[in-house]
Structure 1
Amino acid sequence: MKKLGWALPAICLLAVPAAAQTTDGTSTGDSAAADDGADDIIVTAQRRAERLTDVPISITALNGDALEAAGIRTSEDLSSAVPGLNFATNGAFAQPTVRGIGTTVSSAGSDANVAIYVDGVYQPSQIGNFSDLVDLEQIEVLKGPQGTLFGRNATGGAIRITTRAPSFTPTATLSASYGRFDDVRLTAYGSTGITDTLAVSMAFLYSDDEGYTRNIATGNRVSDLNALSLRGKLLFEPSDSVKLTLSGGHAERRSGAAFALGVLNSNSTSVNLPGSVKAGGPREVSLTFDPVINVNSDQASLTGEFDLGFATLSSISSYQKTKTYLVTDTDRTNLAIGRADLPGTQETYAQELNLVSNGSDSFKWFLGVFYYNDDAIGATIVNQGPIFNATRLKTEAVAPFGEVNIGLGNLTLIGGLRYNYERKDYEITRGALAIERNKTFKNLTPRLGLRYALTPSSNIYATWSRGFKSGLFDGILASGALVVNAVEPEKVSAFEAGYKYGRGRTSFSIAGFHYDYSNIQFQAFNPNAGGLTQVFNAAAAEIYGGEIEVSTELFPDFNVRASAAYTHSRYKNFPTATIFCPRGAPTYGNATIPLGALNPCTGEINSDGATGNELIRTPEFTASLAADYRVELARGDAVELSGSAYYSGRFFWDPGNRLKEGAYVLLNSEIAYVFPGDQFRLSLWGRNLANELYALYQPESAAGDSVAYARPRSFGVSAKLSF
């Protein structure tokens, strides 16, 4: 809590704009729903403001109030509210999986294949994409390949995070929370008009907790989280046809939960060595030092919107720089055997232009172009010695794209196309060995669809699309020589059909899908690659399933949201998967089972690797239920009740389907008293109330199996002041 001393004055400063006066009292932060005359959810998934019901894409859209009521505070928590999404952790790397499509690749410059956007700006850093959610307007999770609409590396889908726009009407919100494990969270948001054409907003977050896992070797608590972020926006509206928004932000995040790794089932080559002290339970680890995941990021963007009459031209220019430093105990014991330090820097420039038609409902179109320039540097330092491995990956990409919607009465025909061009320059140095390689990747991603309006409030749709995740490079040490492999792009062919209904506060959707997923990029430990991991094109897979979502106001001030998802996923062809079997006493660790060899763990010949197995991190069944209710009292005060439940079926962390995560249920709840005037709110909250024990991360290697557990039951109090 060292930064708390200046955090409190910063919060006070953010409250000042609420006292300022505007000249017109208008707010540019209002969504298109304000003109709709109903409470329909408005999304921008097709580059224009449309009712969620009218968009032929499977989307989960949640506003800030719904996220708060469900107890969702970080990006990782989104799994419990979005069917088909597993916001997975690969150590320090955010690797969300949607409908079975995710990644395991974590080398410098590699991208997740579920693209994340904040205010329209693509977020390339996997480490930087664990974020604390503050000043949110809405989150949209788009499922299925979004290459035509949102471009690079969206084979699984896209997560669009929209923060609140500056308002000409003075407004401010302050909140403070304290919970178990000395969990302190402070947030503030303030906005006001400066002139009749200029408005400003600022958002602030400070979060600190002492951790829920004890490192018995150091005596310290780990699995902690310390975060600080500040974002400012300046809105300039010189006329009704021009809007410019300048945004800037800084964030710092220090966490250790995903690296607080203990030995799983005593399976480790080190845990039984002389001097090793074993941890006593799931909330204990025995590590030589406390692990660290440090992230510092700075972002700036300029967004312009220009109404040209026949169309609206928008421009997004952005710059991001993310610095990371990771420290992990690779032997998972108190013995000073293995330590890895992983510094990295990623610097990104991007420019996007979109031209979206106005007016006609019978013929809609948009055209766009996206330019991307990224420079990612990473290194591995073993046991605090000299740099063992250094890599650099430069990416330059250009992608023109467009789509048309042709209305024929109640029927709408949809056609879109994106051309992807990417050049990648790769450098790797290991000791005296160094190699440079480059390669260009090109691809067309089409989208075709039909939408039929059954009524003004309901429709059926069917779409077919292709997804593309760019290729990359991987350097390994094989037989004493440094070898660089070109890893080919992933491809997805996706079909989806569904039904949507939406009117007022009620929405209902059901969708079915089928994917052919090929050239899957996979990262796994390779005993022949210098003891490190190797990235390779692993497999093909078939995925199909369905989802259902419903949201309604059962009666005044009582809202219910429910969802369920079924996902059937299988590797159709994965003979190169690394298949491990625990050796057991006295050596422990895992033996690699070659193709054609007997696997003593199953008693069968390893004839086809992971072929026929389930995809990693993909529960077959998930379901969620959330409700909130407000009871008005006699004096103008109120009581608010909210709760949510999330069920995850069992899934596997490895392609060999050996490391299984059992089914679990997460329960969150909150009760609040709202003072007269609705300006001040006090609440009691609880998360993971059933105290479920489940993993954040379970890696395997020849040295054994490890596990880092998620946060146990926590509870606390919070206060919120709005004016």
Structure 2
Amino acid sequence: MSLSSLTLALLSGAAAVPAGAAIPEAPAPVSAPAGAEDAAEYEAGAESDQHGSGEIVVTARRREETAQEVPLGISVVGGEQIETTGSYNVAKLTQLAPTLQLYSSNPRNTAVNIRGLGVPFGLTNDGFEQGVGIYVDDVYYARVASAVFDFLDVDRIEVLRGPQGTLYGKNTTAGAINITTNQPTFDFQGKAELSIGNLAFKQAKAAVSGPISETLAARVAFSGTSRRGTIFNVASGNWINEQENIGLRGQLLFKPNDDLSITLAGDFNTQNPECCGTVFVRTGATQRALARQYAALASAQGYSVVSTNPFDRLTDVDANLNAGNKIGGVSLRVNWDVGPGTLASISAWRFWDWKPENDRDYTGLPIVSKSQNPSQHDQYTQELRYNYSGKSLDFVIGAFGFYQRIDTQGTEQHGAASSRWNLTGALASDPTVLDGLVAYNTQYLKNTSFAVFGQLGWRVTDRLTIQPGVRLNYDKKDGYYERQVFDGQGNPVLYGQTDPRKVAQRGILAPQLITPEFSDWNFSYDLTVSYALAPDILAYGTYAKTFKTGGINQNGVPVDASNNPILAAGTIKPESVKHFEFGVKTQFWDRRATLNIAGFHTTIDDFQANVTNGQFGVLRGYLANADRVRSKGVEVDFSIRPSDRFNAYVNGAYTDAKYVKFVDAPCPPELSGGTTVGAGQTPSAPGTPGGLSPANCDISGQRLPGVSKWAFSYGAEANAPVTFLGKEGQAYLAFDGSYRSNFSSNPSPSAYTWVDGYALTNFRLGFRAQGEFNVYAWVRNAFDTEYFEQLTVGPSNTGLIVGQPGDPRTWGLTVSKNF
């Protein structure tokens, strides 16, 4: 085929197919995952099409069914699309699913939200649950840090939007991410993939599967990714925030007969990047005295930032950086057809070993010289389920047990510049007051949970189905937190010491000992009614009353006027969630087009918010309950495939998520740092140096952090048959993009931390020989858009704002081969 005829074929690929004509399966289209299931079915290919019907098969309701049959908001991404779009972890997946948000300053401090809900911004507190559950092959991953690892040999990913408490548990008040990997096969198959690109990007993936005997099969998969960092640290001479991931998964399938299958799986993943540093973005006036704000403090110490343009991608942070962590585990999954149903057992152990080093002052000055909080996590889970499918009734009943132990050993030490930065008067001129001041934190958490659950599907008629579900859950948490503080000479810093130096040191790092406990029973339920208006039109409505379990503060609590810990702040109440959703799922034009629409309204009483007090180490951040938050919106997912030569999609979401009532929230930086108002006094205007600051702020009615009101994902692919290297196949041109409007990057919205909206666009051009190999060139963030993933308020209310720039334009080449 000539270049001109190829171009003509690509441009004319959208021509309609005559009504009733068969539509050949596309080898690798880029149709949207977010609700565009008809398009995603072709993504997943034969591996997911277990029914041979051309419909993608999902397990969102713990049983196999086609995605368009599931009466809930669901986004499905096939393994092929994950690879071709470069969405190799959850952070990249957010560009394909508009209602999914991820924010990460390092693997531990990572938040995964759906529709603006899930987990609050800020330093992670081990004493409470996530609101978006992550499951891999039915195994619950309790630590959200797993979200920053590369996907490994994935068949599909289902993003379940809205509360999923009946079947997925107390940790899914906002939704769940259900990941299914490729399973061992009794026919030999394998795949290898290699990618190279700028920024020294290298990625290798391989998977091999096949029989060992007539009843035993195995599958082994490997993934390795490395990339130079995107920020240059002039202090160390290194590029930081690099990628350095290695993953390995092995599975053994024992299938003695058609009724029984037993799968033993193990995985190990490691990261060892020099990460995670930030760049200077701006300063904003606070209510601290003018001489104690950033510009004056930096000038007094002869310090100037290496660049005031954040997209120069330069920093000078002087403390050690490390984000080394290891995650892995073993699981045993048993599926046994017994009588009219299937009995499933999932037993698992998982671990996480986290070894961080950070620069918590975000500058090149020795203010905080060491900040480390290594932790070790072990979890054990056991789930039993029985699934029954009959002519008019389906049901799932089960039980789930969970035990978790987390141990953390923290160290925070101040340096020679800390006195000038944090103290006043003569003490500020004496660097020995805070130089060497160190706190050692010892903490552990024991978390035990047990639940029984069930969900019934009653087909009242051929069109009407009623689906109620219930879950009873018990939780118990026992915690321990001890902070011991010593000055630079090794002497303990204690309450009761009246020496001005000791008082000043206690104001920076305060000793504390608490042993919080929590236990409670909770009951969740939901009801979904669905009605088939026509063979390819399904309407549904859902009401869910669920919860997120209460928690304990594992990072310390405030103290009273006598400097005693306020023990009542050691625990937080459970979240109470009420959720309404209505939707319509449609397919038309002989199923060439899919249009799904959903509207939702979710309220959470006693929302678990992360609170900080603006100081370096008095509290790293503790949990409190906001009275109420609310998220409501509309999601529209559309995909079209008029022929096997062209497909396109566009998905959009409007999300209005706000604090309904939060009257005692932490104040934003422009209202912090001054003298706390007394009786009869009025707080100063925002950003008034030396002003009066409110003790806390009423942020009722303001937007929740991280939520863009508008978010879209979109893309298209055109292809044409060609012969290349003696192989018949397809040349294809594809693009995918995303847009999100502005969002707040601080728990209490601040004029200084709004991230501007941005759009990202990616292109691919390649050739594939169906079932044999695929080679394509790609460019991501093709227009080199400058944007921030997150902005952070610096400590001590000096007005410093730092940020993490998003990836610049990257480009490369990928080659994959099936055998």
Equivalent-residue separation in structure 2 for 1:307 and 1:31 (angstroms): 22
Relative to structure 2, which stretch is displaced further, 298-307 or 637-646?
Answer: 637-646
| Residue of structure 1 equivalent to 2:350 | 320
| Residue of structure 2 equivalent to 1:494 | 579
- 1:476 positional shift: 2.2
| Residue of structure 1 equivalent to 2:758 | 664
| Residue of structure 2 equivalent to 1:18 | none
The one-letter amino acid of 2:765's match is I
Secondary structure of 1:334's counterpart equals coil
Please say if residues 70 and 626 of structure 1, whose CA atoms lie closer than 8 Å, have aligned partners that are also in contact: no
Query: Does residue 647 in structure 1 map to residue 734 in structure 2?
Result: no
Q: 1:509 to 1:76 in 2, by over 3 A?
A: same
Mapping of 1:95-494 within 5 angstroms? 95-104=111-120, 106-256=124-274, 259-266=276-283, 269=294, 271-280=298-307, 281-282=309-310, 283-338=313-368, 339-360=370-391, 362-383=392-413, 388-409=440-461, 410-431=463-484, 433-474=512-553, 475-476=556-557, 478=559, 480-484=563-567, 485-494=570-579
Equivalent-residue separation in structure 2 for 1:30 and 1:593 (angstroms): 65
The one-letter amino acid of 2:352's match is T
The one-letter amino acid of 1:519's match is D
Q: 1:303 to 1:30 in 2, by over 3 A?
A: farther
Please say if residues 58 and 142 of structure 1, whose CA atoms lie closer than 8 Å, have aligned partners that are also in contact: yes
Equivalent-residue separation in structure 2 for 1:688 and 1:394 (angstroms): 43
Equivalent-residue separation in structure 2 for 1:120 and 1:325 (angstroms): 28
Please say if residues 544 and 580 of structure 2, whose CA atoms lie closer than 8 Å, have aligned partners that are also in contact: yes
Secondary structure of 1:633's counterpart equals strand
Please say if residues 637 and 678 of structure 1, whose CA atoms lie closer than 8 Å, have aligned partners that are also in contact: no
| Residue of structure 2 equivalent to 1:712 | 808
TM-score (ref. length: structure 1): 0.90
Equivalent-residue separation in structure 2 for 1:288 and 1:44 (angstroms): 48
The one-letter amino acid of 1:481's match is N
Q: Which has the higher strand share?
A: 1
* Cα offsets for 1:203-254 (capped at 9, x unmatched): 1011111211101111110010100010001111111110111100110013
Equivalent-residue separation in structure 1 for 2:529 and 2:77 (angstroms): 26
Q: Give RMSD over aligned pairs.
A: 2.4
The one-letter amino acid of 1:233's match is Q
Mapping of 1:551-700 within 5 angstroms? 551-582=639-670, 597-601=683-687, 609-634=698-723, 636-658=728-750, 659-674=753-768, 678-700=771-793
Please say if residues 557 and 619 of structure 2, whose CA atoms lie closer than 8 Å, have aligned partners that are also in contact: no
The one-letter amino acid of 2:174's match is G
| Residue of structure 1 equivalent to 2:28 | none
Equivalent-residue separation in structure 2 for 1:191 and 1:557 (angstroms): 31
- 1:83 positional shift: 2.4
| Residue of structure 1 equivalent to 2:636 | 548
Q: 1:322 to 1:273 in 2, by over 3 A?
A: farther
- 1:186 positional shift: 0.8
Please say if residues 250 and 298 of structure 1, whose CA atoms lie closer than 8 Å, have aligned partners that are also in contact: yes
- 1:327 positional shift: 1.0
The one-letter amino acid of 1:164's match is N
Identical counterparts, % of pairs: 27
Please say if residues 326 and 342 of structure 1, whose CA atoms lie closer than 8 Å, have aligned partners that are also in contact: yes
Equivalent-residue separation in structure 2 for 1:382 and 1:172 (angstroms): 48
Structure of greater Rg: 2
The one-letter amino acid of 1:359's match is G
| Residue of structure 2 equivalent to 1:508 | 595
Q: Which has the higher helix share?
A: 2
Q: 1:371 to 1:40 in 2, by over 3 A?
A: same
Equivalent-residue separation in structure 2 for 1:390 and 1:557 (angstroms): 60
* Cα offsets for 1:272-314 (capped at 9, x unmatched): 4524241223211110035221111121000010001211100
- 1:495 positional shift: 0.1
Equivalent-residue separation in structure 2 for 1:300 and 1:293 (angstroms): 24
Equivalent-residue separation in structure 2 for 1:107 and 1:79 (angstroms): 24
| Residue of structure 1 equivalent to 2:426 | none
Q: 1:58 to 1:373 in 2, by over 3 A?
A: same
* Cα offsets for 1:168-194 (capped at 9, x unmatched): 111111111111111111111111111
Equivalent-residue separation in structure 1 for 2:385 and 2:803 (angstroms): 45
Q: 1:471 to 1:573 in 2, by over 3 A?
A: same
TM-score (ref. length: structure 2): 0.80
The one-letter amino acid of 2:277's match is A
| Structure 2 segments unaligned to the other structure (5+ residues) | 1-44, 285-292, 415-435, 485-510
Q: 1:404 to 1:204 in 2, by over 3 A?
A: same
| Residue of structure 2 equivalent to 1:524 | 611
The one-letter amino acid of 1:508's match is L
Secondary structure of 1:476's counterpart equals coil
The one-letter amino acid of 2:685's match is N
Secondary structure of 2:467's counterpart equals strand
Q: 1:48 to 1:272 in 2, by over 3 A?
A: farther
- 1:673 positional shift: 2.5
Please say if residues 69 and 628 of structure 1, whose CA atoms lie closer than 8 Å, have aligned partners that are also in contact: no
Q: 1:271 to 1:641 in 2, by over 3 A?
A: farther
Q: 1:429 to 1:52 in 2, by over 3 A?
A: same
* Cα offsets for 1:410-447 (capped at 9, x unmatched): 11111110011000011111127533232212211100
Equivalent-residue separation in structure 1 for 2:410 and 2:146 (angstroms): 18
Please say if residues 673 and 693 of structure 2, whose CA atoms lie closer than 8 Å, have aligned partners that are also in contact: no
| Structure 1 segments unaligned to the other structure (5+ residues) | 1-28, 584-588
Equivalent-residue separation in structure 2 for 1:30 and 1:47 (angstroms): 21
Please say if residues 323 and 354 of structure 2, whose CA atoms lie closer than 8 Å, have aligned partners that are also in contact: yes
The one-letter amino acid of 2:444's match is R
Please say if residues 391 and 428 of structure 1, whose CA atoms lie closer than 8 Å, have aligned partners that are also in contact: yes
Equivalent-residue separation in structure 2 for 1:224 and 1:131 (angstroms): 13
Please say if residues 251 and 297 of structure 1, whose CA atoms lie closer than 8 Å, have aligned partners that are also in contact: yes
The one-letter amino acid of 2:789's match is L
* Cα offsets for 1:68-118 (capped at 9, x unmatched): 333312110111111211122254322111111021361235432111111
Please say if residues 264 and 333 of structure 2, whose CA atoms lie closer than 8 Å, have aligned partners that are also in contact: yes
| Residue of structure 1 equivalent to 2:64 | 49
